[in-house]
Amino acid sequence: MRAAHREPEACIQATKALCNTCGRLTAAKIVLRGGKVYLAKWCAEHGLTEALVSSDEGWYLRSLGYVKPGTEPLRRSVAEHRGCPDSCGLCPRHEQHTCVPILEITDRCDMGCPACLVHGRVQGDVSLDQVRSILDRLVACEGRINMLTLSGGEPTSHPELLSIVDAALRPEIGVVSVSTNGLALAADDDLIKALRDRGVVISLQYDGEKPGTYAALRGRPELAEIKARLVERVLALGGRLSLTMTLARGVNEDEVGGVMRLLLGNDGVVSVMVQPLSHAGRAMAGIRHDPLDVVTVPDAVRLLAAASGGVIEEKHFCPLPCSHPTCFALTYLLRLEGGRMIPVPALVDPETYLDVIKNQALVGTDPDSLMRIRDGLYALWTSSGAIPERDAVLKVIRQLLLDVDRASRAGNHREVLGVGAAHVKSVFIHHFMDRYTFDLSRAAKCCNHYPQVGGRLVPACVRNNLQPRI
């Protein structure tokens, strides 16, 4: 009998990954085949299993050139490496500092989403004193935190949510975000106002506009109407929204346009985060999928660019240089007068842009970064004159520099980041790993960490998939 035909493949990296069947760490390799990128693993018990890592070999290979050296944290919580994952948190072998910590403050949740990737990880409520201690350690490790996300469970279920927010509103922390399903906010204008008055970004789980989308991902089709009303209400009350969209193959790929219209059409929608579905947590059993046919980062890039009405092109997205290039892609939009927007990568040369964002998940709004952006604009204008809306852009950059200088003199990192949020919108793609795509070399570059009560900072996908003893 003839063997089944198999396309030629090229191995570009050896690593460790998780067996699709049993989830144990095993030898693996990254392979190129048929214009796509796969993670192939070999388990002694279950043999060869594979998962799609990137639907576009070209995007993957180009993204490897964006990698920048990591930033060493001021201190580490783990003194020596004793093997993964049990010495995680961050050990000396971890290659990146903490860009965006995600602080889980409760295991309570008023929903049971089939697509939940973090089900069953935390126990009870984290106390206010514990939160303060975690924040002290974060600042000791990082000096400054650009953005802190409060999560859960459902963080609005915590009885001391606002006190926790107040504890996080310290000068060293730039932006505080609350990641929420929105049900509590939909029933409580006072809570919306309290978060608004504290300058909190409401990171709303928002998967689209159709009941069928919410039936598939959240088990509740009526959420479509609840979310639409809540977005209107938060914007009417002057709150700031970041829309977080779980993007699943065959479920809501046609919903990206509606999410982008909200971003481009409303000053109060400051960012969009698209997360290709990760089959971790409850989603392992709650959502059927084929690990060889999933949404990957370049798919999301194409969908977002096509849905932007010509504002964004695919070339305006790049990997986040401080993380593994398969984990993040992003772009930033400069807000001009009259609500018009222009991608920041269209304004400055690639090296300047990458240098500004190389070790942070938010665009640099420190004076040095903005001066580099300004100098890059001047260089391009004098050499080609091809910058779109030249005068309008220069006016905004001038105001940014003045506002940042004022905030910097006050020594308040939160005010500096607030200046950036007033002028710049962001579009992120974050592909969390699951059992099928987990790659230890990616985990070692992770900059998205969960602070633990015991003091460790555990990379998100290690926490989601390996359950280290912490």
Instruction: Kindly report, residue by residue over 429-459, the tens digit of the pLDDT.
Output: 999 999 999 999 888 888 889 998 888 888 8
Percentage of the chain beyond pLDDT 90 is 53
Q: Tell me, what's the pLDDT at 1?
A: 35
The predicted structure's pLDDT at residue 374:
55
Min mean pLDDT across 94-98, 257-261, 354-358, 378-382 is at: 378-382
Overall average pLDDT of the 208-228 stretch? 97
Q: End-to-end CA distance of the chain, in Å?
A: 51
Does residue 310 belong to any structural domain of this protein? no
- 18 domain-assigned: no
Q: What is the pLDDT of residue 446?
A: 86
The total number of structural domains in the chain stands at 1
**Could you tell me if residue 362 is inside a domain?**
yes
- Per 3-state DSSP, the chain is made up of helix, strand and coil in percentages (nearest 5) of 35, 20, 40
- Given this model, what pLDDT does residue 71 score? 74
pTM: 0.89
Question: Taking a C-beta distance cutoff of 8 angstroms, is the pair 448, 100 a contact?
Answer: yes
Whether 369 maps to a domain, the answer reads yes
Per-residue pLDDT averaged across 206-227, rounded?
97
Q: Beta strand 173-180 with 201-205: parallel, antiparallel or unpaired?
A: parallel
pLDDT of the residue at 23: 92
Q: What is the reported pLDDT for 133?
A: 96
Q: Band of the pLDDT at 218, cuts 50, 70, 90?
A: very high
Lowest mean pLDDT among 62-76, 114-128, 217-231: 62-76
Q: What is the mean pLDDT of the chain?
A: 85
167: left (phi over 0), alpha (psi -120 to 50) or beta: alpha
**Is 363 part of any domain?**
yes
Q: Is residue 374 part of a domain?
A: yes
**Residue 380 pLDDT exceeds 60:** no
Q: Which domain holds residue 394?
A: 330-425
CB of 421 closer than 8 Å to CB of 240: yes
Tell me if 350 is assigned to some domain.
yes
The answer to which of 14-23, 77-86, 120-129, 450-459 has the lowest mean pLDDT is 77-86
> How many Å is the Cα radius of gyration of the chain?
22
How many Å apart are CA 30 and CA 14, to the nearest integer?
6
Q: How far apart are CA 300 and CA 302, in angstroms?
A: 5
> Which region among 40-54, 121-135, 366-380, 398-412 has the lowest average model confidence (pLDDT)?
366-380
Tens digits of residue pLDDT in 11-20: 999 999 999 9
Q: What is the pLDDT of residue 320?
A: 76
Residue 9 lies inside a defined structural domain of this protein: no
Strand partners, 145: 173
| Range 128-138 average pLDDT | 95
